[in-house]
Each structure stands twice: as structure tokens, then as C-alpha cells.
């Protein structure tokens, strides 16, 4: 005869516990340490490194277990599969390191990673995972590493150290020989420059363009270049701006003196009966001479030199007083 088993009072009492109370009990059970995990923390989220030097990715962990941790560091970059940098049990590295990391890696007892002889390719986000056999949950943390070359001293390049008032599109270039991720800025008279209607900065702020030069642009200019690990400033340069009226007086005085000298020299020569120049040649030369005189107000150096040379050649060939009369009549 089969005997039916009666439920015990213990089973019935457990079944009578509401589901919510069961959930709360499980939560207390976890928080009490019966189910433990590894907690990984760090004092910094970003580490700035320099090429050729070392960088410490410092972390620490806490666990209820006294066993050695299993540490795994990975390098993550955009659109690239994560690269395993190193795995270790405690400080003992396991497996073979990738060629680019050999003799450059050191793992500390707290899970921190030291990288020697930094390369630009070391830059990226590093993920550390720390687990212990007795623990159920694995702790992880992320640290971003940037690697840069220090900025060398910048210098300013410009077409000339002086410029005429109202000149257009005068450029100053800020250059440097070494350095990664450069950020450029400009100072005028010690004050930071920003874009306005006349002083225009290129997209990368490497070039400063003065669209229309005014007397107020006569000042000292400096460029600054910085990156995450360095900041350098150029030697200040002076830009001198001349008024057009001043230049006109200088050139006019010089031109008049040149004309007087040439006329005096020609007056001392013995007149001849014929000229070496045809009327067409005389007209051509005089047009260039008059161009040179006009360029004293709005100078173009190449044309000015050409005109003065024509004036000298003309005076050398004008040997008869009748030639001078014909030439003056053409003015």
C-alpha cells in the first residue's frame, strides 16, 4: 500500500513567503558578501604621455579574496578590433607579448600598467579587467592615453617687416618644425587676437591676414602654439606701417633730385646736330618716364626701376638742345 507523504510545516512556511520578500532577502544576501566581486577604481581618466618617455596607467582594486588577480589590459581604437596588450596573474605576465610591446610592459600588484618608450601608436583607450577565481563578478575600468611630440619654438614668416598704409591682404604665417596636434593663437601688442572684419585668421589659425592695412596695425605680433603636453611662444616681430603721404614725399623729393641731376649733366654736354632716337622711340621712353613719376605715388618696385632706367637712358641719348625741345613738347 502506497503511503502519501504529507508536506512538512517547514515547506509550507517557505511557500507562504511573498515573492517581494524573497527578492529583498536575496538582495541582502548579495550585499552581505555571500556573492562578491572585484571593484576597480582610478584617480585619473586621462593620461598625457610624451613620445620616448613612459606613462603609468594607475588603477587599484578591492576584493574579499586574497588570491592573486588575473589582469588583462586591452587597447581600443576607433573602428579597430581591440588589441590585447598584456595578461598576467598578479605581476607575472602570461603568454607571449606582441612584438611592439616586448621589453616595454610592466604590471604592478594593484593591476596598474607601466608603458616604457612611448610611441604615437600607443595612443588610445585602455581597458583593464581584473578577476579573481573566488569572485563571481569581474571588475573593469577605462583610461585614455594620449601620446604627443612636444612643440618646438614657433617663428613668424611675413613678406616684409614694413608695409604701406592701405595695402591689401598682408599675411603673417606661424610655423614650427616639430610637434603634434598643434593649436595656434595670435597676440597683438600682448592681447589675444580674434577674427574681425580686417584681421582674419585661417581655419587652423596658422595664418593671420590683414585684409586692409591701417596705421593701427603698426604693432608687435606674437604667435603661440600648444598641444596637450607643451606650450611655446614665438619671438615677437614688429610690423611697421608707413603712411602713403610720407612715402610720396620721399619718392617725390628723390625723383626731383634725380631729374635736376640729369638735366644738369645733359646741359653740360656739347649739343649735336642730330639725335640717335627716332620720334617713336622718344615717345615710348617718355611714356615710361611718366609712368615712373606716377608710381612715386602708387609704387610698384619693378616698374619704378624700369622707368628710372629708361629716364637715364633717355638723358644719355638726348644730346641736342633741339631734342629736348621736341621731348618737352610731347609731355
pLDDT at 326: 57
Rounded CA separation 144/45 (Å): 6
Rounded CA separation 313/331 (Å): 18
Q: Which residue has the higher pLDDT, 313 or 81?
A: 81
pLDDT at 79: 81
Could you read off the pLDDT of 207-235 as tens digits, one per residue? Answer: 999 999 999 999 999 999 999 999 999 99
pLDDT at 14: 45
Q: Which residue has the higher pLDDT, 307 or 86?
A: 86
Query: Given a cut of 60, is residue 24 above it in pLDDT?
Result: no
Rounded CA separation 62/110 (Å): 9
Query: Given a cut of 60, is residue 202 above it in pLDDT?
Result: yes
What percentage of the chain reaches a pLDDT higher than 90? 55
pLDDT at 85: 96
Q: Report which of 180, 85, 181 is spatially closest to residue 125, judged by C-alpha positions.
A: 85
Give 18's pLDDT tier (boundaries 50, 70, 90). Answer: low
Query: Given a cut of 80, is residue 291 above it in pLDDT?
Result: no
- Determine contact, residues 90/156, Cβ cutoff 8 Å: no
Rounded CA separation 160/175 (Å): 16
Q: HSE of 175 in the Cβ direction (CA atoms, 13 Å)?
A: 7
Could you read off the pLDDT of 82-135 as tens digits, one per residue? Answer: 999 999 999 999 989 999 999 999 999 999 999 999 999 999 999 999 998 766
Q: Which residue has the higher pLDDT, 2 or 21?
A: 21
Q: What is the mean pLDDT of the chain?
A: 79
pLDDT at 59: 96
Give 301's pLDDT tier (boundaries 50, 70, 90). Answer: very low
Give 57's pLDDT tier (boundaries 50, 70, 90). Answer: very high
Rounded CA separation 57/69 (Å): 17
Q: Which residue has the higher pLDDT, 75 or 272?
A: 75
Rounded CA separation 230/152 (Å): 9
Instruction: Tally Cβ neighbours within 10 Å of residue 244.
Output: 14
pTM over 0.95: no
N- to C-terminal Cα distance for the chain? 147
Give 315's pLDDT tier (boundaries 50, 70, 90). Answer: low
Q: Which residue has the higher pLDDT, 165 or 27?
A: 165
What percentage of the chain reaches a pLDDT higher than 70? 62
Amino acid at each position: 500500500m502506497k503511503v502519501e507523504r504529507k508536506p512538512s510545516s517547514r515547506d509550507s512556511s517557505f511557500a507562504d513567503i511573498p515573492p517581494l520578500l524573497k527578492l529583498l532577502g536575496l538582495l541582502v544576501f548579495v550585499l552581505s558578501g555571500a556573492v562578491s566581486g572585484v571593484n576597480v577604481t582610478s584617480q585619473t581618466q586621462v593620461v598625457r604621455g610624451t613620445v620616448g618617455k613612459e606613462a603609468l596607467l594607475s588603477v587599484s582594486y578591492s576584493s574579499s579574496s586574497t588570491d592573486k588577480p588575473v589582469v588583462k589590459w586591452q587597447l581600443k581604437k576607433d573602428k579597430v578590433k581591440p588589441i590585447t596588450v598584456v595578461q598576467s596573474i598578479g605581476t607575472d605576465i602570461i603568454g607571449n607579448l606582441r612584438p611592439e610591446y616586448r621589453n616595454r610592459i610592466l604590471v604592478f600588484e594593484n593591476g596598474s600598467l607601466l608603458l616604457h618608450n612611448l610611441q604615437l601608436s600607443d595612443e588610445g583607450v585602455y581597458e583593464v579587467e581584473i578577476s579573481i577565481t573566488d569572485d563571481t563578478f569581474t571588475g573593469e575600468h577605462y583610461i585614455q592615453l594620449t601620446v604627443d611630440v612636444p612643440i618646438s619654438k614657433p617663428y613668424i614668416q611675413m613678406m616684409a617687416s614694413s608695409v604701406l598704409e592701405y595695402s591689401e591682404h598682408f599675411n603673417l604665417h606661424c610655423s614650427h618644425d616639430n610637434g603634434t596636434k598643434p593649436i595656434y593663437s595670435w597676440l597683438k601688442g600682448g592681447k589675444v587676437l580674434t577674427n574681425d572684419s580686417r584681421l582674419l585668421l585661417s581655419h587652423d589659425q596658422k595664418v593671420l591676414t590683414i585684409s586692409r592695412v591701417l596705421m593701427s596695425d603698426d604693432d608687435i605680433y606674437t604667435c603661440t602654439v600648444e598641444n596637450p603636453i607643451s606650450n611655446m611662444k614665438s619671438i615677437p616681430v614688429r610690423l611697421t606701417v608707413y603712411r602713403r603721404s610720407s612715402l610720396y614725399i620721399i619718392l617725390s623729393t628723390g625723383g626731383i633730385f634725380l631729374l635736376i641731376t640729369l638735366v644738369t649733366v645733359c646741359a653740360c654736354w656739347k649739343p649735336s646736330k642730330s639725335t640717335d632716337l627716332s620720334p617713336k622711340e622718344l615717345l615710348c621712353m617718355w611714356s615710361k618716364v611718366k609712368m615712373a613719376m606716377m608710381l612715386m605715388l602708387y609704387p610698384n618696385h619693378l616698374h619704378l626701376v624700369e622707368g628710372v632706367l629708361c629716364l637715364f637712358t633717355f638723358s644719355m641719348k638726348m644730346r641736342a638742345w633741339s631734342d629736348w625741345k621736341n621731348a618737352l613738347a610731347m609731355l
